[in-house]
Amino acid sequence: MNEQQFASDNYAGVCPEAWEAMQKANQGSAVAYGDDEWTALASDGFRRLFNIDCEVFFVFNGTAANSLALASLCQSYHSVICSAAAHIETDECGAPEFFSNGSKLLVAPAVDGKLTPEAIRTLALSRTDIHFPKPRVVTITQPTETGLVYSIDEIKAISAVCKEFNLKLHMDGARFAHACEFLACEPADISWKAGVDVLCFGGTKNGMAVGEAVLFFDKALAEDFDYRCKQAGQLASKMRFLAAPWVGMLESGAWLKNAQHANRAARFLAEQLSTIAEVKLMFPVQANGVFLQAETSVLDNLRAKGWRFYTFIGGGARFMFAWDADLARVQQLADDIKAAVSEQAV
C-alpha cells in the first residue's frame, strides 16, 4: 500500500457506507438494467433529498453524465456557454462535442473559474446569425474547478440571465456535496430552487467506486433519456451496483459527512500554510481543493519529497482531499511545504 497522496480526489477508494451497501446488494439475483429494488431506492432517496419528484438516472462517470445531459438539452448546431476553466472544456477530451455530434462550447474567460451573468450575456449576444452555433445551455460547475462555491444568489442571478435568453441551466456537480456542505444549505437551494434544470451529482469523487447521478428537475427534459443512456453505453446491466452505493451514501448521510471531511482537510492545509508568506492561496478555500502559488523550485522540491500533484494554470499546485484524507498526512504535507520553502530560502 502506497502512502496517501492528494493529487486528486479520485485517488481515494470506496467509503465504508458505499461499500457496505454494495455488499448488501450483492445477495442473490436482481433484475438487470435498473428494474431492481436498489435502483428504485436510490432514485427515491434523491427525490427525498431534493424534496422534488425529479427524474433520476445513474451513469458510469462524470464525462458521460455531463455530456449526455448537455446533449439532451441541445442539438448539434447549438452551443453551450461555459467558463474557460470548466471541466467539459479542459478535461473531457471533446466528450460534449462527441455526445452532441458537434455542439460548440462557447468559452467565457474566467479569472477565478466562475461564470458570471455578464459573461453569459456577452456570449449570448455575441452572435445571432446562423453562421454560428445558437446558444441553448449554460453550464456551471458547483463548486468550480478552482474550488470556489457559487452562492445561492449567484446561481439565481445566472438562472435569471438564462431565462432572459431562453437558455437551459445545467450544473456539473462532480463535487456537489462539497458545495452543500460549505453553504450549509439544502441541496434544493442551489439546484432546482435556484433555477437549475439538470444536475449531475457526483458520486465517484465523494467515496464511490464508480457512478454519477443525473437529475432532471423538469421531467419533460428527461424524455427518452433512458434510450440516450443505453445507446451511449451508459446503461449498467447490473445496475444495482451503481445504485446501491447511493442508497448507502444517502441513507447514512455519508454523502455530506464525506464532503465535510474533505472540505475540512482542505481548510486544515490552508490554515497550516497561512503564516508562510512564500506560499499563497490562488483562490479562497471553500471546498475540498487547495490551490497554491509557489516558486517552481519550491514545487520541484516538494515533488522530490515524494508528493504528487497537478500544476494549475499559471504555475500553481493543486491538492484535492477526499473522504479518506488522513489529517496527519495533511499535516505532513504542510510540514513538507514549509520545509521546501525554507530550503528554498537558504
Residues 4-63 that bind a copy of itself (CB under 8 A): 4-5, 7-8, 10-14, 19, 22, 25-33, 59-63
Residue 131 as a binder of a copy of itself (CB under 8 A): the answer is: yes
Question: Which residue in 268, 248, 250, 253 sits closest to 321, CA to CA?
Answer: 268
Q: Considering only 41-49, 220-228, 271-279, 334-342, which stretch makes contact with a copy of itself by CB under 8 A?
A: 220-228
Q: Considering only 111-119, 182-190, 240-248, 280-288, which stretch makes contact with a copy of itself by CB under 8 A?
A: 240-248
Indicate which single residue of 55, 73, 124, 130 sits in contact with a copy of itself (rule: CB under 8 A): 130
CB of 193 closer than 8 Å to CB of 163: no
Indicate which single residue of 183, 209, 270, 281 sits in contact with a copy of itself (rule: CB under 8 A): 209
How far is the C-alpha of 290 from the C-alpha of 7, rounded, in Å? 10
Residue 228 as a binder of a copy of itself (CB under 8 A): the answer is: yes
Residue 125 C-alpha cell reads as 449576444
Indicate which single residue of 39, 43, 83, 103 sits in contact with a copy of itself (rule: CB under 8 A): 103
Interacting positions 133-152 with a copy of itself (CB under 8 A):
133-134
How far is the C-alpha of 317 from the C-alpha of 309, rounded, in Å? 6
Residue 99 C-alpha cell reads as 455526445
Burial category of 316 from C-beta neighbours within 10 Å (exposed 0-12, middle 13-18, buried 19 and up): buried
Interacting positions 287-316 with a copy of itself (CB under 8 A):
308
Residue 68 as a binder of a copy of itself (CB under 8 A): the answer is: yes
Q: Which residues contact 246 (CB under 8 A, 6 or more apart)?
A: 21, 42, 45, 46, 58, 203, 208, 211, 213
Q: Which residue matches cell numbers 442539438?
A: 75
- Minimum Å gap between C-beta 284 and a copy of itself is 26
Provide the 10 A C-beta neighbour count for residue 327: 13
- Minimum Å gap between C-beta 175 and a copy of itself is 13
Residue 138 C-alpha cell reads as 449554460
Q: Which is nearer to a copy of itself, 228 or 257 (CB)?
A: 228
